[in-house]
Amino acid sequence: MSLQEFSSELADAVEQSGAGIVTIYARRRQSASGIMWQADLVLTADHVIQRDEHIKVVGPDGTEYQAHVVGRDPSSDVALLRVPNANFTPATLAKTEPRVGQLALAVGRPSSVQASFGIINAIGGPVPTRRGTLAQYLRTDATPYPGFSGGGLVNVKGEVVGLFTSGFAGGEPIAIPVAVLTSVADTLLNHGRVRRGFIGIASQTVNLPDNQRAGRNQATGLLVISVEADSPAQHAGLLVGDILVGLDGHELNEPRDLQMLLASDRAGKTVTLDVLRAGQLQNLSITIGAK
């Protein structure tokens, strides 16, 4: 592929993704961006929504709409807006997991579409935030210019892989991956807020030798290193030294797996916790705490 062809593909990716990004006016000075989620729903960064009324959304064609807040989650810095009279075509979301080293574009619409180019240079999390925990984040050297918060981190196909925010401690711009966005957006749409679950343990990733997996096909689990008093974990009978390998039918390979499951709508529900204890698989019933 020639440099000219590559350049044209990047421009096509910006054009495609830009068609799914709107301008948002919900704070005093700087406009922000938002990602079309459904025909009348837009996702953006929570910190740019500084008022609950008189929120203006401008579509790619320049049409102005009034919007209102459906729900917001300061912990992950995600807000969901409803735009009653809109009929947007939702942005295309990437179906594959992002990878470190993958080419990426920062695309925002502080007024017109703007873009910058780089790579994904780190994938991390969970990470504590000022209001809770973000299960996963993407870091890139593509520059998110002023007004890019709420805009998209986009792959070279024009698919959104994350939503930009500078709303965390230090103001360092990062992107919230699509998997986290989807979970948060669904919860906000159904409940208006995200109830954070907890079980009351500290854990770390541990390798599982082949002869100690009790028939499970996974290489790692979560070693319990402490159990809080009077916590859901203690009431369920968890012990220091247990290895968590599953929750509610989902594998637990590393701490962020547990964080993402607890950040969903499981708070307050009783589910099954799969535990390796002395090389034997046990299934404990645990009621997820809510906070």
The residues annotated with a catalytic role in the active site are 47, 77, 149
d(CA 240, CA 149): 42
Burial of 148 (0-12, 13-18, 19+ CB in 10 A): buried
Calculate the dihedral angle through the C-alpha atoms of 279, 244, 270, 281, rounding to the nearest 10 degrees. Answer: -10
**Amino acid at site 175:** A
Peptide bond between residue 126 and the one before it cis (omega within 30 degrees of 0): yes
Token code pair at residue 174: 């990062």
3-state secondary structure 207-271: ECCHHHCCCCCCCEEEEEEEECCCCHHHHHCCCCCCEEEEECCEECCCHHHHHHHHCCCCCCCEE
Does an H or E element contain 6, and which?
Answer: helix 3-18
